[in-house]
Structure 1
Amino acid sequence: MTTSRGPYAKSARVRAAAVEAAAELFGTAGYRGATFKDVATKIGMTAAGLTYYFPDKDALLAAVLDERDRPAVAEEAALASSGTRADITERVMRILSENIAQPGLAELHCVLSAEATSAEHPAHEHFQDRYRKARDLLTDTFEAAVARGEIRSSVPPKTLATLLLSVMDGVQLQWLLDPEEVDMPATVRTFISDLLAPPEAP
């Protein structure tokens, strides 16, 4: 006799498998290059069968993006309650470690964020909103750090936030292209040390 948990467990497994397959396919072929049917085939299903779990390709993309952003969102939220200079550096390093451990998701981010610069792309609003929230949270964190005298105030906090996000994405792209030559954690840590330097002694 099937327990009440059986169908739910199976549904969770299928959804997780579909998200993983879609992340891999979207990360290599791009969102436009991989089809809903491709994802279904990769996990041994028909496209019609996959619609039971995801109504369409856009819904599947949204699930992939949520999975991709989950570690970073959790780390950023933690900064709101504890945003010292050391905390910022530690949390950025942790995000980079997550990305190194999951290069497929890091590659997906690079591919989809580039594609999503088009306003017609289904992930355009997701990335636009994602970067706005990250900039706002980091801006608040840096403003508090400046007020406490932990970092210099010569660069506006919002500019610091934009620069940090840009460097993280840019170095990650170079690491994906040439991981043997680019030490992502060391490079970003060096940049943060200078970007968020403490005020000079009077």
Structure 2
Amino acid sequence: MGTKDGAPAGKRGPYAKSKQRREDIVNAAYGVFAARGYRGGSLQDVADKVGMSQTSLLHYFPSKSELLLAVLERRDSVSGDGRPRDPEDSFVDAVIRQARFNETVPGVIELYTVLCAESITDNHPGRGYFTERYERLRRSYSRAFTALAGEGRLRPGVDPERAAASLVALWDGIQTQWLLAPESIDMAGCLRDYLELLVLPDHLAGAAGAVSSGPSR
């Protein structure tokens, strides 16, 4: 139902302001958690960055754990959650492209690395998120390696599940080293070297587009 002048009824102004406020809080928490971790970063730290009281912040996010989940969702939106952007990419190309993209968003990688390490501690609210994420990564990569094996492009003796777990471990480890010394580490190059040990060169026409599942980072 519209208003007298034809504009839709409702509190669009306050809603938009509230939505922007939530985004500001999440962005502030993103920086706080990346720098200090979930344990070390307090709600007061976040409130101070936004310029509001902790009581007001709790109006938008009733608990610190809820804020953390919002931050993790924000992280996924920035990284694209690793979904393939080009269906014509081969699996190897998709991994390298995602690694190159990650180099353009160091804050995202820093946040991920800090919170992932913290999540192994008791009662961390992000533990479920990272546990599920690793399971999803292993499944995705294992499917990709299995598909390559079906094309005759996976080297003999390579187990898709173990290769998938190793790729996850290598990627996380290389990212950590890159954060500490970005000028010394070629993250994408290291990943390509590993994958070229496992995957035979593309010798079949159209094989590059045969793998539909890309890296989820």
Length-normalised TM-score, structure 2: 0.80
Structure (1 or 2) with the larger CA radius of gyration = 2
1:60 to 2:60 alignment: no
Match of 2:141 in 1: 138
What's the secondary structure of 2:59's corresponding residue? coil
Structure 1: 4+ residue segments shifted above 6 A? none
CA contact 1:112–1:123 (8 Å) conserved in 2: yes
Aligned mates of 1:27, 1:169 — CA distance in 2: 16
Tell which has more relative contact order, 1 or 2 (C-alpha 8 A, sep 6+).
Answer: 2
What RMSD, in angstroms, separates the aligned Cα atoms of the two structures? 2.6
CA contact 1:151–1:198 (8 Å) conserved in 2: no
Specify whether residues 178 and 55 from structure 1 end up closer, same or farther in structure 2 by C-alpha distance, changes over 3 A only.
same
Task: Please tell me the residue identity of whatever aligns with 1:32.
Answer: R
1:88 to 2:95 alignment: no
Aligned mates of 2:79, 2:160 — CA distance in 1: 20
Match of 2:162 in 1: 159
Aligned mates of 2:52, 2:72 — CA distance in 1: 22
Aligned mates of 1:17, 1:175 — CA distance in 2: 28
1:18 to 2:25 alignment: yes
For 1:106-162, what per-residue CA distance to the aligned partner results, in whole angstroms no more than 9, with x for missing partners? Answer: 111111111111242111111111100111121112112211222224111111111
TM-fit CA distance, 1:187: 2.0
Task: Please tell me the residue identity of whatever aligns with 2:119.
Answer: A
Q: Which has the higher helix share?
A: 1
Aligned mates of 2:163, 2:82 — CA distance in 1: 18
Match of 2:182 in 1: 179
1:70 to 2:77 alignment: yes
Out of 91, 110, 120, the position equivalent to 2:123 is 120
Match of 1:34 in 2: 41
Question: Percent of aligned pairs with the same residue?
Answer: 37
Specify whether residues 18 and 163 from structure 1 end up closer, same or farther in structure 2 by C-alpha distance, changes over 3 A only.
same
For 1:65-104, what per-residue CA distance to the aligned partner results, in whole angstroms no more than 9, with x for missing partners? Answer: 122233556434x49x95x8x5212222232233222211
Gaps of 5+ in 2: 1-6, 203-217
Match of 2:208 in 1: none
CA contact 1:27–1:108 (8 Å) conserved in 2: yes
Match of 2:215 in 1: none
Gaps of 5+ in 1: none
> Is the deviation greater in 155-164 or in 5-14?
5-14
Match of 1:191 in 2: 194
